[in-house]
Amino acid sequence: MALLLAMHFIYLRLKVSKMNIYNFSPGPSKLPQSVIEKVEKGIRYYKNTGKSILEISHRSNEFEEILNEINQNFASLFNLPKNTNILLLQGGATFQNSIVPMNISKNASLGCFITGTWGKKTSEDYLKLFHNTKVIDSRNQDLNKYFNNESKEFQNIDYLHITSNETIEGLQLREFNNINHNQLIIDMSSDFGSYEFNFDNVSYIYAGAQKNMGIPGVTICLAKDDFLIESDNPRYLNLKLLTNSNSILNTPPTISIYVLNLVTKWMIEMGGVEYFQNKSQRQSKEIYDFIDENSSILSSNVDFHYRSKSNIVFNFKEDHLNEKFVYSAIDKGIIGINGHRSVGGIRVSLFNSVDDDMFKYFMNFFKSFINEGK
């Protein structure tokens, strides 16, 4: 509570001083400035409609144009197979924990591979909703045994759910294409759009937009044709019906979808997913190298091969320094780096919008803080 109160007063001071803010929040994350400017313009006056983007109908020609542009942008960014459908839904990743098991054939089996907090929460919901769920908990185990072509850990499971990036622990499974399973369901909420992958062994992906792809309110879902089954579920729990309705079965979050469109355009302008993959590899390597070079002071508890390139989680070995580091960072305009309340420590999120200048500013602060303490 003391830390929260202190942060509140420091935030107020930053607001009054109009200091530049460097937002490393794990979500909702920083938006590119050019996107914010276009959103501001669209809110005031959208194209030639005489209305704000906040006022346009989801069944208007203008909104249909936005949806079509998103489809085109996704095709360009992700090289989607022709049998892949794009859905833009509500409810976030947590809602997906309900809708996914309700859209699996009752004769199928469903597996849930746990690598951290969010995968654990998914498994708890799956067990309530789907009778034939198998939980594979890899925490405190060697993850390497699950990532080889001879692994038998996932045999006799029709669909396997994984969380590609555990934001709380800072653990990432970027090489999920190497998992010996051909029908993956993936929660990619915190790393979708930050690296390239193929869809060969993927049936369904979902990702809340508020990390790399926009603002809260819309969940991006990519579903292969053969994943969508006939169902007697209620309408908004029926993935096939939602797909056939082009994401407008009900009133969608139009402003969130509008921002998603702007962000995907910005991603293409920047050089596509390959650009962001190279950026995250470069930035994450620099910060992890620095942490390892100062192992007498700092610790990172994730296996080297599975360290997240999206959320860098570490601790000061002297616990009081974690709080001091967060205070000192805020004083320099760096916000959002305190670890999750369940684990503490430090978490620096390197989402797509964290450019090299912003990253360099943080690293200069980080190095100065460590050197001053030696």
User: 281 and 166, same structural domain?
Assistant: no
Averaged pLDDT score across all residues of the chain? 93
User: Cβ distance 335 to 25 under 8 Å?
Assistant: yes
* 26, HSE (Cβ side, Cα atoms, 13 Å): 22
Q: Is 227 exposed, middle or buried (0-12, 13-18, 19+ CB in 10 A)?
A: buried
**Residue 53 is part of a domain; what is its CATH number?**
3.40.640.10
Q: Which of 219, 254, 270 is the last residue of a domain?
A: 270
* Segment 209-221 mean pLDDT: 96
DSSP state of 351: -
User: 314 and 233, same structural domain?
Assistant: no
* Segment 96-103 mean pLDDT: 96
User: 223 and 76, same structural domain?
Assistant: yes
User: 15 and 108, same structural domain?
Assistant: no
**Residue 354 is part of a domain; what is its CATH number?**
3.90.1150.10
Instruction: Report yes or no on 33 lying in a domain.
Output: no
| pTM: predicted TM-score of the whole model, two decimal places | 0.93
Mind spelling out the 3-state secondary structure of 41-88?
HHHHCCCCCCCCHHHCCCCCHHHHHHHHHHHHHHHHHHCCCCCEEEEE
Instruction: Report yes or no on 69 lying in a domain.
Output: yes
Mind spelling out the 3-state secondary structure of 77-110?
HHCCCCCEEEEEECCHHHHHHHHCHHHCCCCCCE
Q: What is the pLDDT of residue 14?
A: 56
User: Cβ distance 81 to 227 under 8 Å?
Assistant: no
Give 337's pLDDT tier (boundaries 50, 70, 90): very high
Give 19's pLDDT tier (boundaries 50, 70, 90): confident
User: 259 and 168, same structural domain?
Assistant: yes
Range of the domain at 223: 41-270
Nearest to 106 by CA among 124, 133, 145: 133
Distance of alpha carbon 110 from the chain centroid = 23
Give the alpha-carbon dihedral of 173, 174, 180, 181, to 10 degrees.
90
